[in-house]
Chains A and B, each alone.
Chain A
Amino acid sequence: MRFVRSRSRRGLWSRLIAAVGPALLPGLAAADYKLNLPPPVTRIGSEILKLHNIIMIICAVIFVIVFGLMLYSIVMHRKSRGVKPAAFHDNAKLEVLWTVIPFLILVGIAIPSTATLIEMTDTAKSDMTIKITGYQWRWQYDYPDHGVNFFSSLSTPREQIEGKADKGENYLLEVDNPMVVPVGKKVRLLITANDVIHAWWVPEIGLKKDAIPGFLTDAWMTIDKPGVYRGQCAELCGKDHGFMPIVVNAVTPEEFDKWVVAQKQQAAAAAASADKTWTMEELMARGKQVYQTCAACHGANGEGVGPFPKLAGSKIATGPVDAHIDIVLNGKPGTAMQAFGAQLNDADIAAVVTFERNSFGNKTGDLVQPAQVKAARK
């Protein structure tokens, strides 16, 4: 009877392990565990990694010595071994020693840290400047020296986030328009924000700086190696804080120059397209793309998300066209609905307004031309 019972119990355990094990083990065994900071591609990044490794080693050594002693004491000085407790409770020499030694170790750490910190804050003699502005929830990159200016938003499709499609390799770390910089040049970054505080962070570059609305912070980077480096916003900035990645594309100076020219041509084409008359199909297709920005709060199908209002059948999206254009252009003060006038061009706004008025069961049939948006801007 006992035998049978214990067997059935073992049966339960092995069944449990059989059920849970395969689900976990392959993942655990095959995983490529990353245990340290990623390989840096800037000098500052390497210096930080060096500092990090040195302090890690110091900490590990202290840990092993201190807890080696504690462990020895736990093993040897236990009542079950019949030891008699000692009665000492002071030792001036020892106490001075373990105050002074840690202090000296700290001085040893502080010296290289200070040197690195001084270097990090020296933004002088830069080769070019990029102004980075954080928005809820995308980044804007402005190259005042080159006359290039664009927005960079998450490009991972919502279906992947919601588990309706397989996740791609760079899930949540991919954008539509990456920041492009030339390698070997000292790039000064001026960082600010439009709405709330964000933080621009790319681990491999070793650079993290807060983007504060109304203030400019500055930083610099010189990337040594061409490549694509990915990071994320690091300061909680509201609902889609986890969905505003940063992608930096470091290219050779020649490629960078070519990229600048292409960007300018694109901008000119976009400006021209604002003056033409668009068809309903064109507007709807473009609007659907632009709407990805709105979907974060208003839902992929205009159903609203949490406290954020739905657009399906809403007063704005089915009422007067002018009011609709106005709220998209100028936002609604005191809410998360921001002014998109500065972020989207006339064609984009015309398209998205048209899209919203003719989707999710809204059937106004209204068609908004970029010219109308241009007029409303004044």
Chain B
Amino acid sequence: MATAAHHHDEHPTGISRWLFSTNHKDIGTLYLLFSLLMFFVGGVMALVIRSELFQPGLQITNPHFFNQMTTMHALVMIFGAVMPAFVGLANWQLPLMIGAPDMALPRLNNWSFWILPFAFALLLSTLFLQGAGGAPATGWTMYPPLSIQGGIGVDLAIFSIHMMGISSVLGAINVIATILNMRAPGMTLLKMPMFAWTWLITAFLLLLAMPVLAGAVTMVLTDRHFGTSFFDAAGGGDPVLFQHVFWFFGHPEVYIMILPAFGIISQVIPTFARKPLFGYHSMVYATASIAFLSTVVWAHHMFTVGMPLAGELFFMYATMLIAVPTGVKIFNWIATMWRGAMTFETPMLFAIAFVFLFTIGGLSGLMVAVAPADFQYHDTYFVVAHFHYVLVTGAVVAIFAGAYYWLPKWTGHMYNEKLGKWHFWLTMIGMNLTFFPMHFLGLAGMPRRIPDYALQFTDFNQWATIGAFIFGFSQLLFAYLVIQTIRGGKKADSRVWEGAEGLEWTLPSPPPYHSFTTAPVVK
């Protein structure tokens, strides 16, 4: 046994350590660094958009390039930044948290990561094909017939979406296999940490949703090149069919990007409140019901397409119902803080900000769920504000919370707390200044995805642009802080945080190459 362990310890070094890695920590690191890189790439695109929108008139882009930016910003942020960040966190944390030596399917793990750089090289290469129409300019939703009109960029984007889909599905299979098979003895499903629970449910959502997206974009591809007319009324098809199929993927996708965030927050808040998570069981059931409901609400993205009344009513009621389990989660987090003994290190600051700001996005989500009112909100900046509140001040903030929370565990060094707090406050000021005024813009009547606007929208757009630059540039602090922490700093002990509970804190920081070579026993 000892010799076998030694043999495994001779892992490759240099570039082959990363290229051929089957180690959950190395692959987790790759995912996280890739996600950070894409966060900056997508962020630059957002700044191009915000610069153009700083004042009325066309200044730095033409409308076609502007549409490419909005499309690519969304694709890069969703598939390149947020999703890989969660997979990276899962890779690092799941084996540590459930007491396993590694992920269940290490070679698959390697493959699912290494598809991603190629997928994004392909997607981003379309930006350099400006002579042939450039990047897809259809919005990330790629509604036909607009996506039928586009140039070769649309084809390459479809192919890259296929690759991202394969990567996600493989990652999901790995998570399910790991959680169901490799838990430490004694760790029943209902003793698992919340992060493992939310990821298990997310993985099933991924398996359900990603193939549907692949199907939808494949039909666009065959409509474009192989004479089918799935989405062309002239050939007996229906453009709205695409929207149904797309959002059958798209709405679970929204929860794919928020359930793991719920998991992270459910780990962080108890630690810094020094008190166990309130209502663990109801948290699990709430997560599962959110996941179930997310599969039957898709057409609330399409209230204006002219559905029959019965359809509108069903999707309105079902969507409103999601507020119930989501509310349960928020209340549970606050009850966890209640009568705790809180301290406010950077991860806790981000976690509290998440609860606060995600709720703003949740409440505006309730508003857009109300179908008659949605006829006013739909496709305006109100919706842009809503989904940035759940995705940026929600998912991204939770990722930051997780990153600060576990960074000392991963690197063995404490990060610079002062710098972390600077990052936190600048991010808060920047993101709220960016996204909050968008609510007002939408209500006043500014449609989304426009490169130029009427004069009455000028002031709030200027606020948003200033906020976006503060938000964007303060992320450089985060990159600097991560590099600084990797290179050195105060030694972190195995527990790291005074109130931390769970198997990952029983291992030294950083943990050994094969996390748990002997399975721990959970009482």
Contact = CB atoms under 8 A, between A and B. Distances in A.
A90 B355 CA distance: 20
Interface in B314-358: 316-317, 320-321, 323-324, 327-328, 330-331, 334-344, 352, 355-356
A69 interface: yes
A116 B372 contact: yes
Nearest to B274: A85
Interface stretch (A2-10, A195-203, A310-318): A195-203
Contacts of A91: 278-279, 335
B452 interface: yes
Interface in B446-482: 447-456, 458-460, 462
Contacts of A340: none
Contact of A106 (B309, B321, B375, B460): B321
A38 B445 contact: yes
A74 B337 contact: yes
Interface string A232-251: 11111111111100000000
Nearest to B455: A171
Interface in A215-261: 215, 217-218, 230-243
Interface in A271-327: 305-307
B198 interface: no
A344 interface: no
Contact of A90 (B131, B279, B448): B279
Contact of B454 (A171, A236, A237, A239): A171
A196 B146 CA distance: 5
B316 A172 contact: no
Contacts of A231: 445
A33 B301 CA distance: 28
A214 B454 contact: no
B452 A70 contact: no
A254 B282 CA distance: 64
Contacts of A90: 278-279
A233 B132 CA distance: 27
A113 B316 contact: yes
A35 B352 CA distance: 27
Interface in A181-203: 195-197, 199, 201, 203
A240 B447 CA distance: 13
Q: Looking at chain B's contact residues, is the secondary structure mostly helix, strand, loop, or mixed?
A: helix
Contacts of B191: none
Interface string A6-31: 00000000000000000010011001
B510 interface: no
B455 A234 contact: no
B312 interface: yes
Contact of B453 (A172, A234, A235): A172
Question: Among the interface residues B59, B336, B340, B355, which one has the most CB atoms of the partner chain A within 10 A?
Answer: B340
Nearest to A82: B341
B133 A307 contact: yes
Interface in B372-408: 372-373, 375-376, 378-380
B375 A48 contact: yes
B51 to A, nearest CB: 14
A243 B375 contact: no
A44 B448 CA distance: 23
B450 A117 contact: no
Interface residues of A, number: 102
B450 A62 contact: no
B240 A171 contact: no
Contacts of B138: 236
Interface string B127-138: 000111110011
Contact of B312 (A55, A117, A161, A336): A117
B359 A63 contact: yes
B481 to A, nearest CB: 24
A52 to B, nearest CB: 5
Nearest to A297: B64
Given A37-B376, A38-B445, A207-B375, A27 B458 contact: yes
Contacts of A1: none
B376 A67 contact: no
Nearest to A212: B239
A84 B370 contact: no
Q: Looking at chain A's contact residues, is the secondary structure mostly helix, strand, loop, or mixed?
A: mixed
B332 to A, nearest CB: 8
A47 B443 contact: no
A208 B376 contact: yes
B149 A89 contact: no
A102 B324 CA distance: 6
A201 B442 CA distance: 13
Nearest to B363: A59
A173 B454 contact: yes
A69 B334 CA distance: 8
B363 A209 contact: no
A269 interface: no
B276 interface: yes
A197 B146 contact: yes
Give the size range of B's interface with the partner. Answer: 35 or more
A102 B372 contact: no
B69 interface: no
B455 A167 contact: yes
Contacts of A335: 149
Interface in A106-158: 106, 109-110, 113-114, 116-118, 120-121
B495 interface: no
Interface string A30-42: 0111111110000
B443 A109 contact: no
B376 A234 contact: no
A361 B359 CA distance: 60
Contacts of B131: 307
Interface stretch (A92-100, A349-357, A362-370): A92-100
A169 B371 contact: no
B343 A79 contact: yes
B275 A197 contact: no
Interface stretch (B26-34, B158-166, B230-238, B426-434): B230-238
B373 A55 contact: yes
A190 B449 CA distance: 25
B70 to A, nearest CB: 8
A213 interface: yes
B273 interface: yes
B355 A214 contact: no
Contacts of A242: 63, 447, 449-453
A83 B371 CA distance: 47
A121 B277 contact: no
Contacts of B202: none
Contacts of A51: 370, 372-373
B520 interface: no
Given A197-B146, A203-B376, A307-B64, A215 B240 contact: yes
B440 A196 contact: no
A342 interface: no
A163 B340 contact: no
A377 interface: no
Interface string B56-77: 1111001111010000000000
Contact of B279 (A95, A109, A121, A238): A95
B342 A74 contact: yes
Please give me the 5 A-B residue pairs with the lowest Cβ-Cβ distance, nearest first.
A214-B233, A242-B450, A217-B306, A34-B444, A86-B339
9 contacts: A52-B376, A66-B334, A70-B352, A79-B274, A85-B274, A215-B306, A234-B378, A236-B146, A239-B63
Given A73-B342, A88-B278, A114-B313, 20 more contacts: A33-B460, A52-B373, A63-B360, A66-B359, A69-B334, A73-B334, A74-B342, A79-B274, A79-B341, A85-B340, A90-B278, A95-B279, A99-B324, A118-B309, A201-B379, A231-B445, A232-B447, A241-B449, A242-B450, A306-B130
Interface of A: 24, 27-28, 31-38, 44, 47-48, 51-52, 55-56, 59, 62-63, 66-67, 69-70, 73-74, 77-80, 83-91, 94-95, 98-99, 102-103, 106, 109-110, 113-114, 116-118, 120-121, 160-163, 167, 169-173, 195-197, 199, 201, 203, 206-210, 212-215, 217-218, 230-243, 305-307, 335-336
